[in-house]
Structure 1
Amino acid sequence: MPQPPLRVFLALGLGVAGLVATLVLALVASRVASQRLEARIEAELADLAEHMAGQLDRGLFERWRDMVILAENDTIRDPAAPVERKRRVMRRAQETYSDYAIIGLIDAAGRIEATSTGALEGIDVAHRDYFTRGRHGPFVGDVHDALLLAALKPGHDPADPPRVLDIAAPVRADDGRLVGVVSGHLDWAWARGVEASLRETSAGQRDVTALVLARDGTVLLGPDALRRTTLPAALPSVAAARAGRAGTETETWPDGRRYLTGYRPTRGYRDYPGLGWTVLVRQDAGTAFASVADLRRQILLWGLVVATLAAGFGWFAAGLLARPLRRLAVAAAALGRGAPVEAPASAVREAQAISHALTAAAAALQRQEAERRAADARQELLIHELNHRVKNTLATVQSMARQTARSAASLADFTGSFEARLLAMSQTHNVLTANHWEGAGLRGILSAELEPYSSGRADRIRLDGPPVSLTPAMALPLGMAIHELATNAAKYGALSAEAGQVAVEWRVGPGALELRWRESGGPRVVPPTRTGFGTRLIRASLERELAGEVRFDFAEGGLACLIAVPLAVRTEAA
């Protein structure tokens, strides 16, 4: 039986090996990529559920705080105050947040004394939960039908009365005696606004539906077909949320369809304890994982194409390899017979080509090695620089946390101040990162810090000065100083008033960068009796770190601050 030629063996071997290797790699890549894509899709849905639950909790906390603040109003607490004055106070509170259906003041006997709209006054509500429980402390009641409010709307549908949440707080006199309860009825349309915000967040995802479940599983918010129904407690997402967990589940719903469901229980916010709601964000499983199926098909298709090309290349490569081997075999056979051997000219040329190829390959490898060493050196330099910057940043954050804690009146005060300062540092980092940490424009840093306080008015913040590029060593301390000035202005200075303005002017003088901060149109300035942490932080950042000079002028018409930073410091930092 004649043996097949070498080309057949090589072609079959290379072709089969290439085909198997390519298919295996395609399958592995498909599996890994699909798992990662599925995990990302699940995480996005879980994030949406967490986002909506957080908005619901924070929103009800704000309304909770509204009632607590309203209960402390002197007019509301004064039994002798005219009813019309009390109506005006509650009307202003309702106009501040329009989702209140009505706000009312109930006297100690349980009779409505005054409301923001003037309606329902004189009605006895002593048996209502928001009165009986609101007498003892702040109270938030779950969603329910507002039958009294429905009666005020002519032509309302009895089958679909308005739905509200009751929020109440006790009103006490100076001696602690209960004089009444203030109660706000929050229109459930507020929650639909939160749902609309979720739809905007998930604009890139199709068929995403949000549901809010009461503590007993009743659907408070969701598709019309599910509203006021009760989801089974055995549904995996509902059971997991009731157990206090958050995440995603791929599950079959009562309608027989499979959904990818992100779930999260509401947990309250600060003093507000929460209502035990569950937020579900679901998407049809086929729609959610459509991109995963497409990815798998594409990877497998391209795997087959590459495998086929590999087999053809194997056949072609085998022919190139077998031809010189055959010539060498003929020459070797002639040598074995003792016959004169004439090396094929092609063999010499191929040897020369191989020599040239090896020489070129060696040269290429040397170039690659040199480039690799240079890249390693650059990477080591970058690592050292990053290590240095991280240490400096951590030292700054450590000092800032210690000083903030020392001057904070409470944990909430510390948290707010510390987060604001970290945000100010991150904004300056963002400006530097956009410029690859080679420098940052002074105007860009000022805009990043002051834009949130402009209130959409072009004349509220005025920046005037030539283009100035700052090194990271200057940008970070100067950004923190501007943040402290802006925060102080928003709390106590010009930015706390509607007509207040801040002007920042700078120039590059002989040997120094000079910046002037001026406030106007705010409350009358009273010189401080002690030096706060913000002032110490400004001086520490600019005077100690940059060898600069800071002067404050607590003029009655508005705070003025002069900052001078030597240009020599900027040059050394660069």
Structure 2
Amino acid sequence: MLLLSGLVLLITLVLAGVLDRLFTQREEADIGQQFAELAIQATDKLDRSLFERVREVQLLANQAGLAGTASTLDDKRRLLEAMQTTYAYYAWLGITDSEGKVLVSANRLLEGVNVAHRPWFKNALKGVHLTDVHEAALLARLLQPKDAKEPMRFIDVAFPYRDAQGRIAGVFGTHLSLAWAADIEKSVMLPLLKRKQVQTLILGKDMAVIMGPKALIGTRPLQNPAFPASGASGYAVERFGDGKTYLAGYSKSQGHSFSPGLGWTVMVIQDLGAAYAPVAELRYQVLMSGVCIAALFAVLALWLAGRTSRPLDLLAASAGRVEAGDIDDIAPIPGAYREIGVLRTSLQSLLKKLKARESAMVQADRRKDEFLATLAHELRNPLAPISSAADLLRMARADEAQQRRLGEMIGRQTRHMTGLVDDLLDVSRVTRGEIALDLRPVDLREAIAEAVEQVAPLAAAKSQGIETQAGAGPAMVMGDRKRLVQVLANLLNNATKYTPAGGRIAVELSMPAERVVLAVRDNGIGMSADLMEHAFELFTQETRKTDRSLGGLGVGLALSKRLVELHGGALSVCSEGKDQGSTFVVSLPALAEAEAELAV
């Protein structure tokens, strides 16, 4: 009961832990996705706003009033100053000639200065209209307040303009301050004002901070950034150079319309502990709920354990009486629940199987004893003439003819013993999977002829006829010729043993769909149903009269079946019963003519 209660408690707590993990992972993903969405919004606004600035400058550069000769420099200056008044984020606007000299600018700043060496001038003539963040030292001295703590930084937008003949007459350029980007940042971060310690960083292509906390401007805070390889947007847990770990939503600028953007990356970051504070609260709630549920289930388990233990005790007592031999069956348990009935039925089935297995073991033990007796008899039969021949050779001087007869007898009996030992060794090798087949294309008709030749003397001794129906065409299989001949010889030898003198044995060969089927039929004493069921088991022999001079250990059929199966085939037997003869059928995969030629 205590064990069951503890198990229920453990399962409940594990389940609570799994649910906690699922919920916290989902919550963490939701928070990270919120940060990523904010970064995407900020990036989109930056890209769209930058596109608007590029389009404005392009339109102004194309205005005839800027390029035409009718407009004076004062007119152009007033136009630039009006635009600067309307769009305060343009820190400087100016028009140069084709050589880079500033012809006119808002508020006359840098008029007369040659800017041909400046990147924005050279890039505009090359078709590059955006220049990334930089510090303009000369312009900063003219515009930056004396009490400013940070240097002014700008983004350049410039387009070439043309004269009346369509030739490039110069460049219309602007220095765009980063104030517009700061306004976008504030508008995006407004929904996160309720969160503490949330910050926004804008990083350049070199991963240096362009906008963000003053302490990070110009630095590269990410030690080993994971997000650049993760795609254009998403979220990640990042470790900064200050040693703290942050949850960071990020999005990389993709540009908008014909404006390619500057490749900036916007990051929305928060200290990991603060970011996942809701997750910690959720984890606490889930775990406390799990503890309460576990306690409830533990009480219920104690009650169920009591109800379960009594029928189990009664069932165990009945099983003990069966073991002691007092009863043969496990009696039904009164008032037991369905599972106890199922368990009792299973135990009853197990008892029947154990009894059947015990009976099978007794039969196997009997067959083993019979086999040992047969083996002793089979080995003693050749040993007796060998021993007698040896005694004759030792005791008297035999003439040459007698020596030859004795030698032939010794050789014949020795070969018989060798055959017995070879059969045992083959069975052992096959059983342990140690036989290696020499697979080659084999015409089964030739294997039949060789097997018939081997068995012919035994059949002739009993005046038995062996009839072969092999057809005219080849019957090719992929196999080990020696082993296939061994299988066929075993089947023929078995047929001659159990067919009376003067009986008939037929070998029939057919080739149904992609198979080669060989049947060995006899009109002998037949086989009982029980023997057919165990015919291919080791050491199985029918209780019938057999000519002991022919020998046999009862392993031939078992060995033949295993050899056929190693060839990918099957061996089966059928018999109509006593004195109705037997038919052994070997089925092997056929080898197509093209495959046979290719194998050769």
Larger radius of gyration between Structure 1 and Structure 2 = 2
